[in-house]
Amino acid sequence: MTATYRQPGVVLTDRHFTVPLDHADPAGESIELYAREVVAGDRVHQNLPWLVYLQGGPGFGANRFVGKQAWLGRALKEYRVLLLDQRGTGHSTPANRQTLPLRGGPAEQADYLTHFRADSIVRDCEAIRPAVTGGAPWTVLGQSFGGFCTVNYLSTAPEGLSTAIITGGLPSLDAHADDVYRAAYPRIERKVTAHYARYPQDVERARRIADHLLNHEVVLPNGYRFTAEAFQSLGIVLGGGEGSHRLHYLLEHAFVRTTQGMVLSDAFQEEVQGLLSYAAHPLYALVHEAIYGQDARPTAWSAERVRAEFPQFDAAKALAGDGPLLFTGETVHPWMFDCDPVLRPLRETAELLAARTDWAPLYDPARLAANEVPVAAAVYHDDMYVDTAHALRTARTVRGLRTWVTDEFEHDGVRAGGPRVLDRLLALTRDEL
């Protein structure tokens, strides 16, 4: 069913598509995709080029904008925009603890989830493009993991693209997950150090919370087992422009005095469980490391293994001394599948994915070196989530790609700086700068 409706300044239309689960078997099982078409209210009847937006993640549906928020207002000046819920996310056929048992046991679930990486998402885009544009190529805007998908698009189906815009999402073309995390932990430490420099009072607050968690069993209202490691993982917010401030405000009201002594406050626990729960995006935890799998080497819980090479992240060791507690960042660990009630049923499935040894390559360096699609990428200096050195190495591989390297924004620059970021990148693709 197609529905069209209005918000301030825009007209939106729900779009539904059917695509193969496995594009190598087009006659086999199919899944549903959902996308939201957006056009400026005063341009509804105009013949406009299309821009498809690929959200970051993996495992997140497209932004639910109201009106012309963030970068969308700039895009609507010249495009019809398709906000795609990538397979398994948002309003597309879901993949979570409630639906995955329909596939069978953990082995069948793991096999199913191998079809939820960048290569399948790009083939989805190509499958629906004729119905959306009439066959004309479109512009793609890829944020974070959406940028990884865009590099796969340039590697496998560049004929579908008129322009490619990437924000905070140039992947390494050949790094194993271990290489990604060995580069990540020092960046994470720098972000934490910068946070404590801004808010030195948070050093003692963080140590106090971690000490409480190491000595008490805490279960959040939603059933999440709140451990010291889980507390450290809240550092993921430091990758956003407002993340340091959000973390500070979270820490300042952690404890409340009760008849049983000092305990973690209800308000603190409520906010924490919203940040830690994977209920809305379980695919992120399930396939996050798989987005780096490209050969016979298993990912094998890479973030957990590599963390052991950086003992300064061990909470107990930090508290035994007088140093600060280090938060972690965009990392997925096996303990999450024990702590989070929505992930617990999927623990064995996650183990099978971590052990998998048949990941196909996602990028084609030779084809990228011959690229003819106009491409521009925002590379955020010392991005917490995507290694700058890896990104720039890839940028040099893609023929004609122009970069904008900036420390004005963190990883969420396309949201925080919206119109300016998109405007600059479009100008780069058009040789206007």
Measured in whole angstroms, the distance separating CA 334 from the mean position of its chain's CA atoms is 18
- The set of catalytic residues is 144, 358, 411
The pLDDT, as a whole number, for residue 418 is 78
Name the 3-class secondary structure at 206.
helix
The pLDDT, as a whole number, for residue 214 is 97
What are the boundaries of each domain within the chain? Answer: 4-174+363-429, 177-354
What mean pLDDT is predicted for residues 67-88? 97
Task: Say yes or no to pLDDT of 330 above 90.
Answer: yes
Looking up tokens 């948002």 gives 90
Give all strands (DSSP E) within 149-250, no chain letters.
161-167, 218-219, 225-226
What mean pLDDT is predicted for residues 186-192? 97
For residue 183, which phi and psi values (nearest 5 degrees)? -80, -30
Cβ atoms < 10 Å from Cβ of 127: 16
Look up the CATH superfamily of 4-174+363-429.
Answer: Alpha/Beta hydrolase fold, catalytic domain (3.40.50.1820)
Q: Which residues contact 202 (CB under 8 A, 6 or more apart)?
A: 195, 196, 247, 248, 251
Task: Say yes or no to pLDDT of 274 above 80.
Answer: yes
The pLDDT, as a whole number, for residue 1 is 59
What span, in angstroms and rounded, lies between the C-alpha atoms of 294 and 290?
Answer: 8
Task: Say yes or no to pLDDT of 405 above 90.
Answer: yes
DSSP 301-363: SHHHHHHTT-GGG-HHHHHHTTSPPPP--S---TTHHHH-TTTGGGHHHHHHHHT---PPP--
Is 54 within 8 Å of 146 (Cβ atoms)? yes
Nearest by Cα to 320 from 328, 332, 312 = 312
Is 312 within 8 Å of 323 (Cβ atoms)? yes
Alpha carbon dihedral 335, 336, 340, 344, in 10-degree steps, equals -70
